[in-house]
Amino acid sequence: MIEALRKYWFRCIDCGARYDGDEKIYFCKKCGGLLDVEYEDSELALIPWSKSFQERPLGVWRYRELLPVRDDSKIVTMNEGGTRLIRCRNLEKALGVKEIYVKNEGGNPTGSFKDRGMTVGVTKALEVGARTTICASTGNTSSSLAAYSAKAGLECVVLVPAGKIALGKLSQAIIHGAKVLAVRGGFDDCLRLVKELSRDKRFYLLNSINSFRLEGQKTAAFEIYEQLGREVPDKLFIPIGNAGNIVAYWKGFRELKSLGLIDKLPSFMGVQAIGASPIYKAFIQGSDTITPMENVETIATAIRIGRPVNWKRALKAVRETNGLVGAVTDEEILNAQRILASKEGIFAEPAGASPIAFLIKAVKEGLIEKDSRVVCIVTGHGLKDPDVVLKQVGKLTEVEADIDSVLKALRAASAKAI
Ligand X SMILES: Cc1ncc(COP(=O)(O)O)c(C=O)c1O
Q: Which stretch binds Zn ion (CB under 5 A): 29-37, 186-194, 203-211, 273-281?
A: 29-37
* 15 lies in the site for Zn ion, by CB under 5 A: yes
Nearest-angstrom CA–CA distance, 242 and 278: 11
For residues 139 and 105, give the distance between their C-alpha atoms in angstroms, rounded to a whole number: 15
In the bound complex, what is the minimum distance in angstroms from residue 310's beta carbon to ligand X? 7
**Whole-number Å distance between alpha carbons of 109 and 395:** 32
Residue type at 367 in one-letter notation: L
Question: First vs last Cα of the chain: how many Å apart?
Answer: 62
Residue 379 is a binding residue for ligand X (CB under 6 A): yes
Which residues, numbered 116-175, are part of the site for ligand X (CB under 6 A)? 138, 140-141
Q: Report the residue from 5, 10, 12, 157 that binds Zn ion according to the rule CB under 5 A.
A: 12
- The beta strands (E) that lie in 123-210 are given as 132-136, 155-161, 179-183, 203-205
Residue 107, interface with ligand X (CB under 6 A)? no
Write down the least CB distance from residue 135 to Zn ion, Å: 23
Would you give the binding string for Zn ion spanning residues 62-101, x where CB under 5 A is met?
----------------------------------------
The reply on whether position 25 binds Zn ion by CB under 5 A is no
Where does residue 99 rank: exposed (0-12), middle (13-18), buried (19+ CB within 10 A)?
A: middle
Strand 203-205 versus strand 179-183 pairing type: unpaired
Which residues neighbour 398 within 8 Å (Cβ) at sequence distance 6 or greater? none
Say whether residue 18 binds Zn ion (CB under 5 A): no
Order across the sheet with 267-273: list the strands. 85-87, 99-104, 373-378, 235-239, 267-273, 324-328
Chain-centre distance of CA 245, in angstroms? 5
Q: Does 122 sit near Zn ion (CB under 5 A)?
A: no
Residues comprising the chain, all counted:
418
Considering CB distances under 5 to 8 angstroms, the limit depending on partner class, which of Zn ion, ligand X, none binds residue 121? none
3-state secondary structure at position 198: coil
Binding mask 303-322 for ligand X (x = CB under 6 A): x-------------------
Nearest-approach distance from CB 11 to Zn ion, in angstroms? 9
Q: Does 207 bind ligand X (CB under 6 A)?
A: no
Contact call for residues 158 and 145 (beta carbons, < 8 A): yes
Report, in Å, the least distance between residue 349 CB and ligand X: 5
Partnered with residue 180 across adjacent β-strands are 158
Instruction: Strands of 60-188 (E only): list them.
Output: 85-87, 99-104, 132-136, 155-161, 179-183
Candidates 38-46, 118-126, 239-247, 393-401 — which segment interacts with ligand X by CB under 6 A?
239-247
28 contact, one of ligand X, Zn ion, none, CB 5-8 Å limit per kind? Zn ion
Q: Which does 240 bind (CB under 5 to 8 A by kind): Zn ion, ligand X, none?
A: ligand X
Of the two residues 126 and 271, which places its CB atom closer to ligand X in the complex?
271
* DSSP 8-state symbol, 263: S
208 binds, among Zn ion, ligand X, none (CB under 5 to 8 A by kind): ligand X
**Residue nearer to ligand X on the CB measure, 48 or 241:** 241
Sole binder of ligand X in the list 161, 239, 275, 382 (CB under 6 A): 239
Determine, following the binding rule CB under 6 A, whether residue 243 of this chain makes contact with ligand X: yes
Identify what 33 binds: Zn ion, ligand X, none; CB under 5 to 8 Å per kind.
Zn ion
Q: CB–CB of 392/385 below 8 Å?
A: no
User: Which residues, numbered 30-59, are part of the site for Zn ion (CB under 5 A)?
Assistant: 30-31, 33
Q: Residue 388's closest CA among 349, 345, 342, 335?
A: 349
Interior angle at CA 398, CA 392 and CA 400, nearest 5: 170
- The binding track of 329-368 with respect to ligand X, each residue x by CB under 6 A or -, is --------------------x-xx----------------
CB–CB of 379/239 below 8 Å?
yes
Amino acid at 278: P
Which strand (E) or helix (H) includes residue 271?
A: strand 267-273
Q: Segment near Zn ion (CB under 5 A), from 16-24, 74-82, 203-211, 227-235?
A: 16-24
The alpha helices in 52-129, defined as continuous H runs, are 52-55, 89-95, 114-127
- Assess 219 for contact with ligand X (CB under 6 A): no
Site for ligand X (CB under 6 A): how many residues?
19
Interface region with Zn ion, contact rule CB under 5 A, candidates 27-35, 162-170, 239-247, 339-347: 27-35
Contacting residues toward ligand X, per CB under 6 A: 112, 138, 140-141, 208, 239-245, 302-303, 349, 351-352, 379-380
Contacting residues toward Zn ion, per CB under 5 A: 12, 14-15, 17, 28, 30-31, 33
